[in-house]
Structure 1
Amino acid sequence: MDSLQIFILAIVQGLTEFLPISSSAHLILTPMLFGYQDQGLGFDVAVHLGSLLAVTTFFRHELLDMAGDFFRSVIKGAPPTQNSQMVWLLILATLPIMAAGLLFFSEVEHELRSIWVIAAATILFGLLLYWYDRNGSRTRDEYSTSWRDALIIGLFQVLALIPGTSRSGITITAGMMLGLTREAASRFSFLLSIPTIVMSGSLVTLELIIHQEPVDWQAMLVGALFSFVSAYLCIRLFLHVIDRIGMLPFVIYRLLLGAVLIWIAL
């Protein structure tokens, strides 16, 4: 991998991991569009690690509060708080994709990575995002999420195994469907990305070890760094403006991207 390829793929991953436009689709499509060879599993792990560090850094204060309250409630029997409750909700919301990922990891990695699948998912779930952005009540914050809500969001997240769906896009859609504001749905989605990225990264790392693929450590380090910077800036800007601009710009982008993909496939 040359320096430009590393930079482009890392920036693409960092931006698209948290925007509702599908990072997996862009990581598949970018090498196709630029004529690059597939970047390999090792680099995918590195850029996802950069994204993971970005979201944990951004939410570091919330995560420390959640961890403290969670362990006090579990170990010391302290009364549950909003923070400790949120930890349980994130665990519950992660279980469906954990089960689905373990069962269908091979099929997702090797059988669904086609332009037609990406195009269909990009358009379909973009329209679904638009529908609930326009019609959701958007009156609740993320701390009003119930056990039922968390499970529903978790079940929606399973759809993100389909390339082109967008993990953040489908979980934000589910949140708005349940009445969360745009920012609240986004914050819950970003917090939910932490255990999800850890899980998916662990699976890919295991496959990397099993197949003993060669690793370019310098490319991985640089890729993780650029992914971290772009993802952090993306989260910060997205949460700052999303309640004002809405989801329409991302929906339009998804529809245009889907149309381009269909044109390429034809």
Structure 2
Amino acid sequence: MTDLLLWLKYLLLGIVQGATEPIPVSSSGHLIIAQKLLGIEQRGLAFEILTNTASLIAISFIFRKDIMRLIVGSLRFVQTREKSYRADFMFAAYVVVGTVPAVIIALLFKDQIESYFSNVRTVAVSLLITGVALWLIRNLRGRKRDGDLSFKDALIVGMAQAVALIPGISRSGSTVITSIAVGMKQDTALRFSFMLYIPISLGGLVLGISDIAGDPDRSTLAIPYIIAFLTTLVVTYFAMKWFMNIMAKGNLIYFAYYCFAAGILLLIFL
């Protein structure tokens, strides 16, 4: 019975991670809240890395055609210099530029950020900040498509992604919001945001292999970890599809309402 309860708790954690990773409400913040409510204390980063990897697989599968087009187009542009491939090459270059700020901040300050900000009060305040940002861009409809971006746009969005290292600040939220704020169309903002997510998550996985290998709970929590991983994988896929539909309709305002309600409730009750 004890094992069954533990498996159920990790199933719920997988649902929370999968449901919140693609949408602008902060998966890391919601995991902190869920772990507190379920009475689970994680030692190290192995669980976070595993569930983030599950989300990465699901999101990469959804954007697989875009990923392949950018890789093939970039390689062909380097080889042939044909103008028809330049847009793909430049978009890939913007993704690289946009990834740099978060990489630098993560390498220098990630441990300090997690130490100082991994608490429910920070999550609550961060959700309120995310809600305000979503409210401010609710009526913006940009005109920039993939071929209209600039290195300045990429750097600004990249800095927003770096800010999202603070628990409660949504990575997808900060990058989508900032992409729209600099004038991108909804579909371009969505695509650019999640193209930025892929290298950051891959880097986190590579750097976190030692955390997974050295996890003190690895043997005792093998089954719960597998349950959470598979649950996160499936739920992320459907949550991402749902969010893409929301973005297409321009209904981000509903996430602002959620962030306001969640932030206020957390400040009152936790």
Q: CA deviation at 1:142?
A: 3.7
Partner of 1:97: 102
Match of 2:112 in 1: 107
Q: What residue number does 1:41 align with?
A: 45
| Offset, 1:40 | 5.2
For the 8 Å contact 2:44–2:211, the answer to whether it is kept is no
Q: Which residue of 1 aligns with 2:217?
A: 214
Alignment partner of 2:42: what SS? coil
**Kept in 2: contact 1:176–1:182 (CA 8 A):** yes
1:177 aligns with 2:176: no
Alpha-carbon distance between aligned partners in 2 of 1:140 and 1:220, rounded to the nearest angstrom: 41
Cα RMSD (Å) of the superposition?
2.0
Q: Which residue of 2 aligns with 1:200?
A: 204
Superposition pairs of residues 49-88 of structure 1, within 5 angstroms:
49-75=53-79, 77-79=81-83, 80-88=85-93
TM-score under structure 2 normalisation? 0.90
Cα gap change, 1:208 to 1:110, in 2 (>3 Å)? farther
3-state SS of paired residue (2:121): helix
1:104-153 deviations in whole A, cap 9, x for unaligned?
Answer: 0111222111222111111012101210223x342233442211101110
2:130 to 125, 128, 140: 125
1:36 Cα deviation after fit: 2.8
How far apart are the structure 1 equivalents of 2:80 and 2:143? 34
- CA distance, structure 1, for counterparts of residue 14 and residue 76 of structure 2: 38
Note if contact 1:7-1:223 (Cα within 8 Å) is conserved in structure 2.
yes
Inter-partner Cα distance in structure 2 for 1:77 and 1:94? 25
Name the SS for the 1:81 alignment partner: helix
Contact 2:246 2:252 in 1 (8 A): no
Aligned pair partner of 2:14 in 10, 13, 24 = 10
The residue type paired with residue 91 of structure 1 is V
Q: Does the alignment pair 1:164 with 2:196? A: no
Shift of 1:221: 2.7
Q: Is the 8 A contact 1:133 1:173 kept in 2?
A: no
After superposition, the Cα gap between the structure-2 partners of 1:78 and 1:182, relative to the gap in structure 1 and judged at 3 Å, is closer
Residue in 1 that maps onto 2:156: 152
- Structure 1 stretch 151-160 or stretch 211-220: which is displaced more? 211-220
Structure 1 gaps of 5+ residues are: none
1:163 is paired with a residue whose SS is coil
The TM-score with structure 1 as length reference comes to 0.91
Q: In the alignment, is residue 249 of structure 1 matched against residue 254 of structure 2?
A: yes
Separation in 2, partners of 1:87, 1:55: 17
Query: Are the aligned partners of 2:57 and 2:233 in contact in 1 as well (CA < 8 Å)?
Result: yes
1:262 pairs with 2:264: no
Q: Secondary structure at the match of 1:12?
A: helix
Moved more, 214-223 or 254-263: 214-223
How far is 1:208 from its partner?
4.3
Structure 1 contact 133–176 (Cα < 8 Å) conserved: no
Bigger shift: 240-249 or 101-110? 240-249
- Cα 1:17–1:39 shift into 2, 3 Å: farther
SS of equivalent to 2:137: helix
3-state SS of 1:21 partner: coil
Question: What amino acid does structure 1 have at the position aligned with 2:132?
Answer: L
Q: Which of 7, 11, 28 matches 2:32?
A: 28
Q: CA deviation at 1:78?
A: 4.8
Residue 12 of structure 1 deviates from its aligned partner by 0.9
CA offset at residue 68 of structure 1?
Answer: 0.8
- 1:191-235 per-position Cα deviation (integer Å, ceiling 9, x unaligned): 2110111122333333444x5533133333332221111111111
Partner of residue 19, structure 1: 23
Q: Distance in 1 between matches of 2:110 and 2:182?
A: 28
Q: Secondary structure at the match of 1:179?
A: coil
Give the aligned length: 263
